[in-house]
Amino acid sequence: MKTTHKIAAARVIYHVIHAGRMLFGRTDQDIVSRGGVTYDLDLSQGIDFAIFLGNFYERQTKAALRKLVSPGTLVLDIGANIGAHTLHLAQLVGADGRVMAFEPTEFAFRKLSRNLDLNPLLASRIEAHHCFLTADDEANVPEAIYSSWPLARQAGLHAKHLGREMQTQAARARSLDSILSERADRKVQLVKLDVDGFECDVLRGATSMLRNMRPTFVMELAPYVLEERNTSLDELLSFFVPNGYAFYDERTQRPLPSSARELERMITNGAGINAIAIAP
């Protein structure tokens, strides 16, 4: 399902719940526990609302992560947003594991930090980095990046995925290889990559990791957002295929094509495929 369809459905449910809460004098802010994790949520935001409804946010991805992440390992959450997957990954790696989370927007990093504060046991396994991952540490950081999906109708939202860009003034540019050379105490086992078109920027700074560590990736293949960033699915695959990676459907685990042309035939405009990339 396209993101725009998901948001449209969530808007209908949100307005009903919002009206009901207003009758009882309650706002859109709520602190809830879901799946053993405590969150401070703004129900007018799409990610928060999906968590509130019953931890529905990317449940398929969470199921895939449960199968792929081993206790005691180092995993990366690139595009951590409010921490929905970050905190789940911290549960999966256990007390001896570590999660490195990366988020460039002030809006989402502030919410991520708050949710870490609410979960001190899990937070002790997490390093949160307020940075924009790109080719090198001297690169320019975009002024704003999509990290908000409001459920109230607003002007200025993305035409297809209905997101809103949020500011990145405090984020610095870093390459993943640079950070790992400083901070990694073991090989990276898995990367959850969700950066809405900036995938190639991240991977240009991760060539050493791809070559030497060969972690599993859980990611979305969405040609339309890549094209908006002047890259392409073909360029994205060029980081993986030469390193021996094969792609699998996240839901069915069936093999996916390794050519951009074949994949693009499977993906409708404005949509993507949730994929797992594994190196033998």
Q: What is the pLDDT of residues 128-142, one digit of tens each?
A: 999 999 999 999 999
Give the confidence band of 7 by pLDDT, cuts at 50, 70, 90: confident
Decide if 277 contacts 247 (C-beta within 8 A). yes
User: 24 in a domain, yes or no?
Assistant: no
User: 271 in a domain, yes or no?
Assistant: yes
The pLDDT of 14-21, averaged and rounded, is 96
| pLDDT greater than 70 at residue 53 | yes
**pLDDT (0 to 100) of residue 153:** 85
Query: Rounded to whole angstroms, how far apart are CA atoms 280 and 278?
Result: 6
User: 52 in a domain, yes or no?
Assistant: no
**pLDDT (0 to 100) of residue 55:** 94
| Pairing status of strand 273-278 against strand 216-221 | antiparallel
**pLDDT (0 to 100) of residue 34:** 97
User: 148 in a domain, yes or no?
Assistant: yes
The pLDDT of 195-216, averaged and rounded, is 97
For 117-126, the pLDDT digits (tens) are 999 999 999 9
| pLDDT greater than 90 at residue 4 | no
Mean pLDDT score of the chain: 96
Buried b (16+ CB within 10 A) or exposed e, 148-171: bbbbeeeeebbebbbbbbbebeeb
Amino acid at 274: N
| pLDDT greater than 90 at residue 280 | no
The neighbour count for residue 190, using CB atoms within 10 Å, is 25
User: 34 in a domain, yes or no?
Assistant: no
Give the confidence band of 1 by pLDDT, cuts at 50, 70, 90: low
Decide if 61 contacts 218 (C-beta within 8 A). yes
For 80-119, the pLDDT digits (tens) are 999 999 999 999 999 999 999 999 999 999 999 999 999 9
User: 5 in a domain, yes or no?
Assistant: no
Give the confidence band of 8 by pLDDT, cuts at 50, 70, 90: confident
What percentage of the chain carries pLDDT values higher than 90?
A: 93
User: 29 in a domain, yes or no?
Assistant: no
Kindly report the CATH number assigned to the domain that includes residue 109: 3.40.50.150
User: 18 in a domain, yes or no?
Assistant: no
The pLDDT of 21-41, averaged and rounded, is 97
Query: Rounded to whole angstroms, how far apart are CA atoms 260 and 153?
Result: 34
| pLDDT greater than 80 at residue 2 | no
In angstroms, the Cα distances linking 35 to 9, 39, 101, 133, 186 are: 23, 10, 19, 29, 28
The pLDDT of 16-36, averaged and rounded, is 97
Kindly state the tokens that stand for 128. Answer: 């949160």
Find the DSSP H helices in the chain: 3-23, 46-54, 59-68, 84-93, 106-117, 120-123, 176-183, 199-204, 207-212, 223-228, 233-238, 260-266
Amino acid at 183: R
* Residue 172: domain span: 57-278
Residue 238's contacts (CB-CB under 8 Å, 6 or more residues apart) are none
Query: Rounded to whole angstroms, how far apart are CA atoms 122 and 126?
Result: 7
In total, how many domains does the chain have? 1
| pLDDT greater than 90 at residue 215 | yes
